[in-house]
Amino acid sequence: MKADSAQLAQPDEALERLAIDTIRTLAMDAVQKANSGHPGTPMAMAPVAYTLWRDFVRYDPDTPDWPNRDRFVLSVGHASMLLYAVLHLALVKEIDPDGKPTGRPAVGLDDIKQFRQLGSKTPGHPEYRMTTGVETTTGPLGQGCGNSVGMAIAERALASHFNRDGFKLFDHNIYVLCGDGDMMEGVSSEAASLAGHLALSNLCWIYDSNHISIEGSTELAFTEDVGKRFEGYGWNVIQVDDANDTRAVARAIAAFRDAHDRPTLIVIRSVIGWGSPRAGSEKAHGEPLGEDNVRATKKAYGWPEGAQFLVPDGVAEAFNAAVAGRGRPAREAWEETLARYRESFPAEAREMDLLRRGKLPSDWQATIPTFPPDAVGLASRDSGGKVLNAIAPHVPLLIGGAADLSPSTKTSLTFQGAGSFGKNDHSGRNMHFGVREHAMGSIANGMALSYLRSYTGTFLVFADYMRAPIRLAAIMELPVVFVFTHDSIGVGEDGPTHQPIEHLATLRAIPGLDTIRPGDANEVAAAWKVALSHSNEPTALILSRQAIPTLDRRKYASADALEKGGYILGDAERGAPEIILIGTGSELPMVVAAHEKLASEGVRSRVVSLPSWFLFEKQADAYRESVFPDAVRARLAVEQGGSMGWDRYVGHDGGTITMKTFGASAPLAKLQEKFGFTVDNICAVARDLIEKNK
């Protein structure tokens, strides 16, 4: 549909033009000074961003972490100077990681002058935690779109959980600026489909349809009717013919706010680098304009050609007055409501305080089970489900689900009242993401950015589909829990396509991600404790499909030692060990059995459980030396995954029993025999290593 002709407040047109051109020239100057960046989209979409923030975004520049603020997500992260210029002109104040004001601007003019420079608050793409006012790290196209769906879900969940009659604490909107690249990436399609299904009417994507990408015109590869696609998703679609028509832009956003039954896509036609001699070219999109073109563009704007980083008197003050004039009274009214809420609902108010600080209730570990020794045991996906359902009733906003695999991943919340989050019921704790792994990860990040404790579930082999959001969770230091089951050739008959080989190594390679592969049910319990104790790291929990014996912890070390990442599970009875046997996951009990067989033959071995390399590397040198004494050179790691990375623990003199090929379709016992994962083979390799190191 076209934006309607509703009458809106008419701003001072001269001041409006001055402010818009200030955004444009700041972007040009910053990119030119850095000799790097993308000036085109900030120039073209300056009128849209200006109108959105001046007239609609509910935001208090003095309190940028107010929980019920509207969120603005710049999914076109390469257009970062647009966001930095807006934050600068809105006079947003900086807060530190604890939410305390620093007395500095979130983005000062000197910060803009340091665009894309080492240590600046204005990196090439917006970075969460680095710059106040940046709601999420964007860069990989489509991720901001996915995050926004998670934020919209979170608003609905928070409103359902906390709002009461006469106490509306959560009712904010999420605005996203996205582009052709976002629309080409599959993650945005997955996310938009789910948003339409859930009728998230608090979500508005503003699509800059400029028909330009890095390679040139989108006619090269992208000619679909995006609006019709989104109508098929169940979105309200509004067309605006000219990004410079701020009245039409305002009418479109007003129409979004009047729509209460579905999300809204506003398709805005723009000319990239508007006003530039290179307008409409890929050069305006992806490169500095050049000094001569900058001067010529400023001349076209009626701007002083030689002026750099010019903010005319009164522009920032007027913009701040508009944003704060709407946002500050709303924030003050919210705080008054919260004060009354504390009196009527003190327990819920305390719970909200914990969420805002990223803390969990004091009793969240109270009912975590301890599992008795069992020679047959449980698949760690099964024990994982039991532990999750023991914890979740004590963590009310622990919300998650699987990519249509919860019966297999055991990630459903099954306790009384857990329910499902759906179009007409936002109180449910189970998310149904559908077969959308990529969007699932991105949405979970958005949920975590809005106070929820989110988790996801799928098979480990499908971590490939989720790598981008997992990596971004680590960059943003979000405590999302990514549950991966069916973690090895133990998948059996499903064959090589479903048997992960390289996946553990690729997850362990992500800085800041705690990848934990527990070796029995009690290690699973300890792993969930660790995962939810993290406040600034995501966790990948790696769980088995097949049963794993539950070790006798009266005979072997407590699983609580998992918090150190690796620990001595069992040791030689007399004297120093001749060999160290290392295991994780489903192979750990197999290693224990080999240890016991070797002991019966008079061979002294030590068993080390090493479920988390991430946590183990954080331990003091003395502790790591106590687990892996340098004097013991014979070491053997056993894991049904690739060998990459194990050299750091087994050294040049040790060895591994790992996968060197893809798997095969066969019953598990046949696969274990074929690939050497048997007690007899572990013992044989161990003896060879001992002999080699004599």
Active-site residue (options: 127, 190, 437, 587): 437
Sign of the Cα torsion 433, 437, 443, 444 reads positive
135 tagged catalytic: no
**CA neighbor of 181 nearest in space, from 1, 69, 61, 38:** 38
Residue 290 and residue 596: Cα distance in Å, rounded? 72
The continuous run of DSSP H or E covering 442 comes out as helix 437-448
Q: CA dist 166 to 154, 326, 334, Å?
A: 21, 21, 12
The continuous run of DSSP H or E covering 393 comes out as none
Other CB atoms within 10 Å distance of the CB of residue 434: 16
Q: CA dist 281 to 26, 212, 284, 300, Å?
A: 20, 7, 5, 18
Q: CA dist 331 to 313, 338, 452, Å?
A: 28, 10, 21
Long-range pairs, 389-393, Cβ under 8 A, ≥24: 389/413, 389/414, 389/415, 391/364, 391/365, 391/367, 391/528, 391/532, 392/418, 392/429, 393/367
The answer to whether the beta carbons of residues 279 and 310 sit under 8 Å apart is no
- Where would I find the beta strands (DSSP E) of 168-285? 174-179, 203-209, 212-213, 216-217, 236-240, 264-269
The continuous run of DSSP H or E covering 533 comes out as helix 521-533
Residue 146 and residue 446: Cα distance in Å, rounded? 7
Structure token digits, residue 151: 């934020």
Q: Give the angle 574-578-579 at the CA atoms, nearest 5°.
A: 120
* Residue positions annotated with a catalytic role: 437
